[in-house]
Structure 1
């Protein structure tokens, strides 16, 4: 899951194994709690930002759907008016808009999966944090044995803390991913504005556009009034 699975090291962490290796378990446990609290804050902020991106993608999807309908109506009006050139341009614009909308839909689905996974990870992190706090409270309630070492812990503690920090520190890359996603959303917002409304007159024929144009013509062809068709097919009276 990439950036949204960076909490799993902590979620899968075996506190007993970590604490057994530490000369000063209480200090290590405090460090673990502090790192988990910071990770939880980062995760909540990331979730809020991604939910905002979701809303922007939903608005872009809705707007593009409206544009697709508008281009379809323009194509029909152009065919009815006998303007195949304008109909081709409208069909091409609709096709390009549909391609952008398909990309937006795919991004929405991917983002929804990532947000759901992040929310699940946050719930698991909360449970681990409660467990760590309970262990620290129990540890502080024990009497300190005589002759217990005092002072700073050996370098092994720093290594354990660094392992946790390295796993949780990958949240720094989350902001970069959010920034990239936000840039893509902005491109959806402005990309359609830079696209030409009508194709150039000397543009090469597009087989897909031509096929859709012929299908549209065939669909609109029966629109001629029935009485007009009968009048056209009626035999001509020679004595008239």
Structure 2
């Protein structure tokens, strides 16, 4: 096999493979069905044209037959008038018309035979088309069912192109999520251990702890000051019975005053509403 032959063979095989992948059997069946219907329509049109031609010949024959009767009448009238010459001419025309009628009969008969043959072929072709249509619809239904089943199987098994893409996308998303979770956990661990200083602060961990200690000392000092102002000391003191009674009275007065104030506030709210 020469280079050109091999190249031609390879090209034809490639084209054939492309056509096989691009071909939709249902579209091919529909196209074949439409072509057969076009052929049937052409046969019907041919029968119609043939019938029209036959009708024209039959009309022409009928007119000739009318002329034959006319020439017969002319010949009788000429004989009655003793005009043999006119009678002869009329009969000659009659014979010419009879010859034309005979020729038309032959043409009409041949057209009728052709018409009968075409009608028979048309009926056979129409029957084949109906049979092909039934097979076509059955085949299309089988193909569509097989195609749907194949798509479902590919989707369930994940071997289809689209499902494969979805699977890869899920894998990438899972990997990125795992990486982000690990990064977040690592950052939290570093922040808790103090290994990472606040990027917005120029203080290290020791300075922050010292500052927190100073803040706590200031809070303790302020708390002691408040206790001293309120007459309370952080050191425990012995309470006498009299002091206890005095404190109880004072507490009751304070409670009474708070209750009166709260009642007054409620009355003001009801009046204003």
Q: Could you state the TM-score of these two structures normalised by the residue count of structure 2?
A: 0.40
Task: Report which of the two structures shows the higher radius of gyration computed on alpha carbons.
Answer: 2
More helix by share: 2
Q: Which has the higher contact order (CA 8 A, sep 6+)?
A: 1
